Structures are given as structure tokens and as C-alpha cells.
Structure 1
């Protein structure tokens, strides 16, 4: 009879600055080993996603119940429209379609890295009810011809929502397959018209310790900041998600709006965004400032470049028992490798 895989020790998957703080939180965590559910039918397009290894709350546990806290704060989302067929599509099907089973909804909403809501994998779901999802605005600012502060419901109405089923690879060497609902970041940026000086896009999470109790700690410099080059931001795969599995995002997954960049490690996916700022200079992103030898600005998934404290060559898909090989660029090399032509991907990690 197969044995369940042991969760990696916390000191092997956690940045050194946080390990001592998280050890007690992780002590009683349970390893989620339910089988990922394959969802038949429905729209399946692209593959990729984000979240953290070892303490998923199974359905029916307090973590699973807490996952729904605050769900009623956001209005229902309209149905998803099929994404346009990209060049090279055959019979209307995207060349990026995946036949991989989707990760179970309960796992996606109860196994999360969102330090603003707690340092363990289960705490974000337990604390998500503190996050008030309405009213919510996103300040689009910086090097734009048409800067604007946009109400989240207005923003959702601007663009037809698409469902994209992306692979998500966490830097901690676990992964999921997540059906996101949202729209391409490029659609928003084109509407706002970047200036010729716009070379980067900076994303910032809400700063409010009353709603995000993890911000009362000093484990990171708050607010959380992430960034992309402008060509990465304009790439068709780069996505702003407002839902998953056809439902509005929950707080622990980055409600009401979050970034999804499927060829990069999950920590690049800034959650609960309140600012999208176009800049001339590369942003000082949170993890690359906190641990520059471990978490670089680019954070492209690269199985050939080990983390200083663990290998990135394989990953554990949540819901599966065996590890699987990690793919370069998380399986999106054909689409995105050209963005990094001439770069040393071992140095620019």
C-alpha cells in the first residue's frame, strides 16, 4: 500500500527570516492528500496559477469553512466568454489547452500563501472574513496617458471575462491547476495608454492591518509590491483574475483582484491589488528586497536553477502522491522564452 509523502520540514521550505516565526504555526498542520478532481466539459484554455506545502485544510475542516468567509461581499460574476483563438489555433481550439485535471476547489481555497492574512497555509482562509471587498478601487497611475482610479465593479464590466486554466508553480516546489476567471492585463493597459517612458508595471497590495492582520508583523516590509517588465505585462498570458471555478475570488486567493503570471513562481502574483503603476525604473519588489539571493525580480520557473535550500527540478502537485518533473517556464516556454532572448537565466532568476 502506498504511503503518503512526508511534508518537507518547515525549515526547508521557508525563508530563514520567517522560519522561527512559522514553526509553531505549522506544527499542527495537516497534509492534504485528496485526489485532484478532473472537471469534464466546460471551458479549458491555457494552463498555469499561484499559492504555498504541507497544511491544506481538507473539506469540512475549520480551514475549509473559513474559506467562505466574506464570499457574499462581492456580487456574482457574469459568465465567462471563450477567449479569442490565438494565432495557430486549430478548429478554434487554443494551442495552449491542457488536459491536466484541475485541482480540487477546496484545496485551492484552503491552502494558500498570503502572509498578510497569516503565515501558515490555513490561516489565510481562517482570517479572510476580515477583508472587506466592497467598496474597492484600483489606482492606475504613473506613466499613463489616461490615469484613473477605477471601482472594481466598473473594471469588471469593462472587459469580457474569460476562464483560463493555468498551471501554478509555487517557489516552495508544490503546484496546482487553477481555472481562473478574469481578463488580460494587456486589455487594461491598452485602454489606459502607457507613455513611451513606461518600462515596468508595479503592483501593490492593500495596506490595512485591521483587514490584513499579518501586516501587524514585521516579517516583510508592507505593503506587498511586485512588478513586471512592460513586455511581460503585455504578454497575452498575463492575467488579472477576479474569480476561480466560476465564482468570485475569496480573500485568501487575493480578492477582489489579483495578478496571475503562469510562467513565473506564484509569489509574483500580487493579491488584493489597489495600485497598478507604470514606471520608468524597475520596482523594488518585496521578496527580492527581503531575500535577494533566494527570490529574484524575474522569478521565472526554472528547474535547472535550485533554490539555495531545495531543488526546483521536481514539484508536488496538490492532490497527487508522487512528485513530477518541473517544466521550464512552467510549461510555457514556447510562448514566453523569446522575452528573455540573450539573457542568462541562471543570473537573472
Structure 2
């Protein structure tokens, strides 16, 4: 038997320790049910998804070190520095309101609702930057169908964990805590809308919204709420954090729209993290073919 010495192994063949530990953590989470372990392995090895873009990925370093997560600070570097204190296990998500079968789900229960899959999505932020990220998760629709929304469920409201001890940014008044977001029910049930639990074949890093977050790829990034603990089905449009803070700057819908400028900057172009030159912003972040029909007949400058 040939035993290779460390000097025989190329650096490119060595899995970084942090990545190895993350993979072990993801597999440990998946092992909560034997049925999930194989699905998690498929996700780790790149289970194909028809929803994925073919654009080049941003690196894991870029994705995990340049973040908006005001619960851990307002600079892009703060979340990576401050989020590691967050306790993500055990974790529960309460789904309530206009539902025939409201339920409090453990994270392991959510992961069993549908096969995990990797989806490579563009994420466009309102500040003018974008990334391409290989998310791992399940459709939000898989969760909502379990609780059976009633005919009065026109909107879906989301809340992030409220815990200033773990989330030091919540000790400030930069926003009205907890962070709140919302979607129309048809947006929430759209197959592109994802509950993400991982990226790059690993459990979701804490600075990226662990242990479970929303990803709505045709909307600006702040709509993709992180560290979710409550989902409420309701008849009326829910208040959302950035709309409450600056209603003239951040609308409820927040669809990526190069024709609607932010009051303080244009949205017509964006800079992909890691690139020097800007590129044109695409309507609905390039997902118009899939989602434009949701807004047929709406004035997208008025309902921005």
C-alpha cells in the first residue's frame, strides 16, 4: 500500500480545515434523519437544478466576507466578525396565521419536506453590487403547503430572530427590530423562491443568514431575510423593515428594476463582486421570463 507523505500532496488537493469542518457539520445536520443524508450528499456533490444560472460563481471567500446583516453591524465586514456568537441549534420556525394547520417546525423537519438541491442564483443588492451564489435549500412552497394556507392568505410575513445578546446590532436604532420582510402569496409560492440552508456544499455560514434564510433572486437582496424564526400568513400587506425606515427609498415589492432609480443612486448598472467594470442591470435580475407574469398590468414605477 502506498502511503503519501504530506510533501507528496499538492496544495490544490488539500481541503481547508474550515471547509472540512463545515461539511462535517452539514452532514451531521442531515444525519438527523437517514432519509436526508443521501439528499444532503447529492447537494454537496452538485445536484443539478433547472433554476440555476450558468454564470461564473463568486468565491466562497467573497460570499462569506462581504455581507449585509445589520444585526451584526452596518459595515460589510461586520457580520463575518460578529456573527459567530449566534447559536443556530436547536432552531425553530413558527408558521402561523391564515393556515389550516399552523405549526412550529424544527429545522430538521423543514429539511425533510423536500429534497435538498443546489441552485446557482444571482443576488443583486440595492447598493449596486451583485454576486453569483450556489445556494442549497428547498422551495418555500414546500413549507407553506404543509400548513395549508386559507383563502384569506394574500401575503406572507417573515421575522428574524430578536436577541440583542447574540446580535449586537439590535442594540442600535438603525432599524426597528426584529427585522421584518414580506411577500405576496403568489411570490412566496413561486418555484424560484428558496429557503436556503447552505451554500458551496456547506451549512449556511452564520454571516450569511444561518441556519435558514429566504432567497428571492429577482428582488433586491434585502428582501431575502436571514435567520428566520417566524412566518405568518395574512390577509393584509405586512410592514417591512426598510420600507418602514425609508418608504421613499425602499418599496414593498423591491423587484430589481434598472428603470427605477434609488433616490441617491442609479440602479441601471451593477458591479459584480470581484470584477472591476460595471455591467447593465437586468430587469427582474435576469429572471423576467419566469416572474414577469406575476406583475402583469402593474405600474412597476409606482409599485417599486
SS of alignment partner, residue 99 of structure 1: coil
SS of alignment partner, residue 237 of structure 1: coil
Alignment counterpart, residue 144 of structure 1, candidates 60, 77, 99: 99
8 Å contact 1:73–1:134 — kept in the other structure?
A: no
Q: Which moved more, 1:153-162 or 1:303-312?
A: 153-162
SS of alignment partner, residue 337 of structure 1: helix
CA distance in 1, matches of 2:133, 2:105: 27
SS of alignment partner, residue 158 of structure 1: coil
8 Å contact 2:22–2:203 — kept in the other structure?
A: no
Displacement over 2 Å in runs of 4+: 67-77, 79-84, 96-99
Q: Within the alignment, does 1:242 sit opposite 2:194 as a pair?
A: no
Higher helix share: 2
CA distance in 2, matches of 1:68, 1:282: 43
| Distance apart, 1:158 and its partner CA | 2.5
| Distance apart, 1:73 and its partner CA | 7.0
Alignment counterpart, residue 345 of structure 1, candidates 278, 300, 303: 300
SS of alignment partner, residue 316 of structure 1: strand
| Distance apart, 1:79 and its partner CA | 2.4
After superposition, the C-alpha distances for 1:106-134 in whole angstroms (9 at most, x for unaligned) are 01011100000111111100111110001
SS of alignment partner, residue 186 of structure 2: helix
| Distance apart, 1:157 and its partner CA | 2.2
8 Å contact 2:63–2:133 — kept in the other structure?
A: yes
CA distance in 1, matches of 2:53, 2:151: 36
**1:215/1:110 Cα in 2 relative to 1: closer, same or farther (>3 Å)?**
same
8 Å contact 2:153–2:233 — kept in the other structure?
A: yes
CA distance in 2, matches of 1:72, 1:136: 19
SS of alignment partner, residue 249 of structure 2: coil
1:293-332 correspondence runs (5 A): 293-332=248-287
List runs of 5+ in structure 2 lacking aligned partners: 1-15, 31-39
8 Å contact 1:69–1:129 — kept in the other structure?
A: no
Q: What's the counterpart of residue 274 of structure 1? A: 229
Q: Within the alignment, does 1:177 sit opposite 2:145 as a pair?
A: no
| Distance apart, 1:97 and its partner CA | 4.2
CA distance in 1, matches of 2:249, 2:120: 28
Q: Within the alignment, does 1:135 sit opposite 2:97 as a pair?
A: no
SS of alignment partner, residue 101 of structure 2: coil
Alignment counterpart, residue 81 of structure 2, candidates 123, 126, 130: 126
Q: Within the alignment, does 1:252 sit opposite 2:207 as a pair?
A: yes
What is the root-mean-square deviation in Å for CA atoms of aligned residues? Answer: 2.1
**1:271/1:69 Cα in 2 relative to 1: closer, same or farther (>3 Å)?**
farther
CA distance in 2, matches of 1:347, 1:330: 19
TM-score (norm 1): 0.75
List runs of 5+ in structure 1 lacking aligned partners: 1-59, 85-93
1:1-349 correspondence runs (5 A): 75-77=28-30, 78-80=40-42, 82=47, 94=50, 96-349=51-304
| Distance apart, 1:247 and its partner CA | 0.4
Q: What's the counterpart of residue 37 of structure 2? A: none
After superposition, the C-alpha distances for 1:122-176 in whole angstroms (9 at most, x for unaligned) are 1100111110001110001111111111111221122210100000000001000
